[in-house]
A and B are shown apart, each in its own frame.
Chain A
Amino acid sequence: MSILIKNGRVIDPASGIDDIIDVLISGNRIEKIDKHLSGAGKEVRVIDASGHVVAPGLIDVHTHLREPGYEWKETIKTGTMAAAKGGFTSIVCMANTNPVNDNKSVTDYIVEKAKSEGACRVFPCGAITRGLKGEELAEIGEMVEAGIRAVSDDGKSVKDSGILRKAMEYAKLFDIPVISHCEDEGLSKGFVHEGRASLLTGLDAVPAIAEEIIAQRDITLAGYVGSPVHLTHISAGGSVRTIGEAKKRYDKITCDTCPHYFSLTDEATLGFDTSTKVNPPLRGQDDLEAIKEGLRNDTIDIIATDHAPHENTSKDVEFDIASFGISGLETGLALSLNLVHEGVLTLGDLLRKLTVNPAKLLRLPYGGIGPGRIADITIFNPDIEWTVDKNQFITKGKNTPFHGWKLKGKSLITIVDGKIVYRDKTFRP
């Protein structure tokens, strides 16, 4: 079975293609890209992509799939279906499951489950330390063999700099990045950003420097041992400046931010809406501007969703005891496209942060459109308007602060390994 995508605007940041051309997929690979392909002589399914964008499948380097252990929040099946709906063809899932993904058997479980039930590719991220406790190194080598593409104690920082140093050194053995969650524990006894809004709500607050301090520490450590470091879900202007400066001197630093950090500020927490409770917290307007500037000037390489699904009951409580996290897979692309509509990024630049840059970070062979490449493709329209309705989410996590928002940009078709795994109801090929 072949698929012919006709008349779409193919944007491939990896090769620099941005043109109205056709893409012919045979089996799980792209056979040809050219003008006026016919696919004659083959059994071909034709998709008319006129007026739409044909891009490499999006790659999300930061999600939580909650399986094993928290299947009521999300499963590999529902999470990957939500990812496919959001235009993602590959996602990384963090290690804070139960049991923690700190050994080969848990990695095996996730990989097998994803193969049999997953709608898209899943690359587990292993824990840096056993049980995410920050004390002893997890069996990183065995997990690499089982399929992890990075290590992270996401959810907290590795407090002991000596342990983190060893992890960074050890990870060099396998050429995988250490993904850093930057949060100074002593400064982080709170639930919202420390700023004007926290003064008004009286909620316990975390200053932006809690992130900046650890970002600097982790950069310093990585530079010292000569390992790559990826700083995830960067939220603070100070961190962006710190990373920007450090990148001039050391070229193995990358970082990502999440759509909520360039879409919302701490003002959103004023009504005690627990869907706005996320870690790191929504920051101030200055931070939001700095994040956008960091995306524009390429200090920030990647946009990740930090998809953190939760059941309603863990959010339907007092703000202090509500779970942290935003369900992000199904709004990520549209919120990111706002950057294009606002003129912060070109469409090509945005796609680079959602495809080729994440692929490079994880050493994945995906994230590009070209003859012979694996057919992971996303077709979306950057201008279709829709209203976010959390009740229409595929993910189990209905925890979004964007419910009711009018967004511009919608994924229409998602193709993984040459197969259509998602098609928008409104799209008639």
Chain B
Amino acid sequence: MKWARKDLLGIQELSKEEILFILDTAESFKEISKREIKKVPTLRGKTVITLFYEPSTRTRTSFEIAAKRLSADTINISASTSSYVKGETLKDTAKNLEAMKPDVTIIRHNMPGAPHMLAKIVDSSVVNGGDGAHEHPTQALLDLYTMREKKGFIDGLKVVIVGDIIHSRVARSNIFALRNFDTEIVCCGPPTMLPPHLEALGVKQSYNMEEALRNADVIMMLRIQKERGGVAYIPSIKEYSSLFGLRKEHISKAKKDVIIMHPGPMNRGVEIMDDVADGPSSVILDQVENGVAVRMAVLYLLLGGET
């Protein structure tokens, strides 16, 4: 197939073919990061801007490394150093950046729909690097990539997502991605953190960790989104942790070869205990590694590459 989209704004609008196309493309890029000279000239002369209105370590670094390994020039703008603090609107920021002719802008914003707004304003490509509680498409893509890499397939998997689902763009994007496949998706957490109408997305709900994790192939742990008010949805972190923190004994309920995922940043001792995060089932650092390959693939495809 040929990639036809200008932007990557969400998983919602992607077809199964498009998702698989990105994953397949990423496979050919993974090897580059293992070379001694980790750079190919593919995107030489292209300019990639990361425009981050929310803090980020992993995503921004991952995008920047991905762009640099493809020889693109990268510029990082964060809200605290931008005209945003001087009151410039997103629209004006977008128009000003566009005037400097970037090829791709990766935007992270605390408000849903900001990337969509940006994409309407600029002619160059826009990648959603996370917008509020809406979507985080490259995270879901790297998660699927990791599942497929570790399990060999996505169809037939039981994926349990645990935590602050209502505020999680990672959960949403993963649900949107996984429902293209023959998967069983279970969201587990306190009822306050499970959004109403989840069943409309073909997702099962559970308030009980042991029950939810039974026969799971994949466990995806989420942190409490303090910046989106997540703490008000539970009486205390301590109580939350005792009910929904992932412990070693939980893992015995799941399949033997279960993999443990976490999009980061982790709150050790809250949603995940040390021995699980660092244990043999954990693929958390593989996710990070695969993130670079997936983002290389996304940049490559958006900038007109073909495989």
Known contacts A317-B89, A317-B90; is-contact A199 B132 (Cβ 8 Å): no
B201 contacts A320, C-beta separation under 8 Å: no
Contact with B along A359-402 (1 / 0, CB 8 A): 00000000000000000000000000000000000000000000
Assess whether B112 is in contact with A271, with CB atoms less than 8 Å apart: no
A318 and B113 contact, Cβ closer than 8 Å, known pairs A196-B200, A199-B200: yes
The 8 Å CB contact of A200, one of B12, B90, B132, is: B12
| Interface hits, B24-48 → A, CB 8 Å | none
A-B contacts counted at CB < 8 A amount to 57
A residues less than 8 Å from B109 (CB atoms): 318
Contact A272-B201, Cβ < 8 Å, known A202-B135, A202-B172, A318-B117: no
How many angstroms from the CA of A318 to the CA of B117 in the assembled complex?
7
A interface residues, Cβ below 8 angstroms from B: 194-196, 198-204, 207, 271-272, 313, 316-321
Q: Does B195 contact A (CB under 8 A)?
A: yes
Task: For the complex formed, measure the closest distance between the CB of A51 and the CB atoms of chain B, giving whole angstroms.
Answer: 42
Of B109, B111, B114, B169, most A-chain CB atoms within 10 Å? B111
CA A319 to CA B198, docked complex, whole Å? 23
> Which of B91, B112, B169, B200 touches A316 (beta carbons < 8 Å)?
B91
> Nearest CB to that of B110 among chain A residues?
A320
Q: Considering the chains assembled together, what is the distance between the CA atoms of A325 and B266 in angstroms?
A: 40
Contacts A/B (CB < 8 Å), 14 sampled: A196-B200, A198-B195, A199-B195, A199-B196, A199-B201, A202-B131, A202-B132, A202-B134, A202-B135, A272-B113, A313-B89, A317-B90, A318-B114, A319-B111
**What is the CA–CA distance of A204 and B109 in the complex, to the nearest angstrom?**
15
**Chain B contact residues (Cβ within 8 angstroms of A): what range?**
20 to 34
User: Do residues B112 and A203 form an inter-chain contact, with CB atoms below 8 A?
Assistant: yes
- Report the nearest B residue to A197, measured CB to CB: B197
Contacts of A196 in B (CB 8 A): 197, 200
Residues of the A chain whose Cβ atoms lie less than 8 Å from the Cβ of B113: 201, 203, 272, 318-319
Q: Is B133 engaged at the interface, CB distance under 8 Å to the other chain?
A: yes
Measured CA separation A273–B114 after assembly (Å): 11
- Does B116 belong to the interface (CB within 8 Å)? yes
* A45 vs B29: C-alpha distance when bound (angstroms): 80
Q: How far is the CB of A77 from chain B (nearest CB, A)?
A: 29
Contact A317 B116 (CB under 8 A): no
Further contacts, 11 of them, CB under 8 A, given A204-B133, A272-B116: A196-B197, A196-B200, A199-B197, A201-B113, A202-B135, A271-B116, A272-B112, A272-B117, A313-B89, A316-B91, A318-B90
**Which of A194, A207, A313, A320 meets B112, CB within 8 Å?**
A320
Cα separation A113 to B238 with both chains bound (whole Å): 61
Please tell me which one of the listed residues B12, B111, B133, B197 contacts residue A321 in the complex, with CB atoms under 8 A apart. B111
